[in-house]
Chains A and B, each alone.
Chain A
Amino acid sequence: MVESLRLFCQHISFLIMIYGGRLGIRLGNSLPCFTCPYVSGCAGHCYLMVLQRSSVGFQTAFDIFFSGAVFNILWPFAVFLLFFIPLSKLWCSWICPFCLVQDWISLVRKKFYIREMILTRKTRNNIKPVKYILLVLLITIPLAIANFNLHSDWALPFCQICPGKPILPLFQGNWSYFHINYTNGITMAFSFLSMVITGGMLVGMFFRERFFCMFCPMLALMHLLKAISPVRFEKKIHTCTGCGNCERSCPVDIPDVHLEKVKKNVLTQDCMGCMSCVEACPADHTLTFKWFGFRLFSSSRSYLSRKWSQK
């Protein structure tokens, strides 16, 4: 089953990403998933950190930016594209270690039969721009440090508040990032905010599947680049029965696949490519994930009936 295969891939990638560095695996610092550089011995780093750094990211003076040194900034982006383009958003549900942590937390809730928190469409629509705002901030704040004398303790603004920073090192027995940094007012404010956000996200992840993904700026960046990806999620409008299974089975309740009546490509901004909707669709070949035009996985009545008969 696709769900089991996805979880298997995610567990393997989790082990590689979190512990692989100790085995000599080096995947660089431009990965399109939340594998955190604060985890010592990880196999690779999240690209968002590079994006915020000096010399290789946006913490760069304008005169250097528009000189030959821009190659140093473009190089990590080119590596990011090399990783991103083949898999696109499949990185999120199939590889991202932080996504798996969220799945584990949700699993605990399900085991205790605790009801999931329900978000209205209005709330979900209001949340959508947050990830783009975070993406803009994590670019403009480093630019302001390098060019407008903003205090250097604003460096790596997103990393300072990202819940991945304290949570992922826990898997290496390091809980030292759960702290308040009293060095000065800025560090104290950032670390306080980090703890409040981490607390909120942990609770949110428990009561709501993939809660953090709704705010993830990496997802926003990926969505902006989806046009150059070979991964497509297609819907055959004329064979759709309108049953709504896709929306109900979606961990992030995306209504667009169900409601879309015109467009063929239904890879929306919140979609993480988990393929739950394709698994749940009862109409043959109505929903299809394609890669370079090849069919990766397509909805089928017989698959769905087999899946439910096993349960």
Chain B
Amino acid sequence: MVFCLMPAMVFAIPQDKNFLYFKFLEMKKEKNGQVSQAIELVCTDPAVGAVKVFYRENSDPAVFFAPVKDGIVTLIVDKPSRISLFAFSTNPAGFPEKKLVAHTNLVLFGKSSVPAPRIMADDIDVNRFAGLPGIELLSSENYYWHQTGQVLKFCIKPVLEPDSSDIDPGNIRIFVLENHKIRRLTMDGTLDFSYDPAHDERLRKTGVTAIRQDILYTTMEEKNQKYFLTYSLLLHRSRKGFNDIFSGVSVLGTSMILFIGLILKKRRTPW
């Protein structure tokens, strides 16, 4: 099942590696207060099997199934929701078998009395995919509003059972496709991968809600399985990175001096 071959963003991902990843499309506020987010599934492997998409909401352990229509998943929420979205597929051709896992996190601020449609995932499917590893974003200071210039940490964990990880990150290398350039993430002392996304001129000019999407990817082999993992990271511009306190205090001080001077000069006359 091939959804979209070689969009512009994929050009820099090595061609011999076939990945599955999410590409964020339009977010829409519905008239009834629900919020919908369209997400395109992009797969560069022409021989991949059916893709199954699941998600979790907030801290609810229940796993929901997200139907894919023309390569697009549409998430609909009726309340503020932190969503963890996963897509799984396999390519049975060749040995070892390839397993493709895509993961992302997003927050949608729905506010509606009309309940959003939800389909509980089939337990058989959930158990089939539960142990698969995925790239996981560790919660940070700005836990849902990820910004350029902020250090983000990642690790490899089973996506549906993140607490039961026995994956050794020692020989894993995670790369990131950042604005069409590939960078390798550095591993820190806690064996997590650090990513410090560079500031982006486009985001600075566009506005506070503008987003950039970076793709993190890695491959790993374990127990005769070959895994191709991606994480789609949504980034906003830095909120505080361009604030200069010295300039602010200088302008404040200057204005105060000017106003005090003006008042003292006119102190004998009513305004």
Contacts and interface: CB of A to CB of B under 8 A. Distances in A.
Interface residues of B, number: 36
Nearest to B256: A199
B245 A184 contact: no
B111 interface: yes
Nearest to A180: B247
A64 B255 contact: no
Given A117-B271, A199-B252, A178 B245 contact: yes
Interface string B183-213: 0000000000000000000001101111000
B247 A115 contact: no
A257 to B, nearest CB: 21
A179 B248 contact: yes
Interface string A51-71: 000010000010110011101
A3 interface: no
Contacts of A67: 31-32
B95 interface: no
* Chain B contact residues, majority secondary structure: mixed
B243 interface: yes
B149 to A, nearest CB: 11
B168 interface: no
Interface string B234-260: 000110101111011101111110111
A175 B243 CA distance: 12
Interface in A90-130: 115, 117-120, 123
B109 interface: yes
A71 B242 CA distance: 37
B158 interface: no
A203 B271 CA distance: 15
Interface string B154-170: 00000000000000000
A63 B204 CA distance: 29
B243 A68 contact: no
Nearest to A207: B263
A37 to B, nearest CB: 14
A176 B31 contact: no
A176 B240 contact: yes
B29 A64 contact: yes
Interface in A265-292: none
Given A195-B255, A196-B251, A196-B255, A182 B242 contact: yes
B223 interface: no
Contacts of B205: 184
B33 interface: yes
A63 B242 contact: no
Contacts of B94: none
Contacts of A71: 33
B7 interface: no
A63 B30 CA distance: 10
A181 interface: yes
Given A69-B32, A199-B256, A179 B109 contact: no
Given A67-B31, A178-B245, 15 more contacts: A55-B109, A68-B32, A69-B29, A72-B111, A118-B270, A178-B252, A180-B247, A180-B251, A182-B243, A183-B242, A191-B248, A195-B252, A195-B255, A198-B255, A200-B256
Interface of B: 29, 31-33, 109, 111-112, 204-205, 207-210, 237-238, 240, 242-245, 247-249, 251-256, 258-260, 263, 267, 270-271
Interface of A: 55, 61, 63-64, 67-69, 71-72, 115, 117-120, 123, 151-153, 155, 175-176, 178-184, 187, 191-192, 195-196, 198-200, 202-204, 207
> Which 4 pairs show the lowest CB-CB distances between chains A and B?
A199-B255, A152-B207, A179-B248, A203-B259
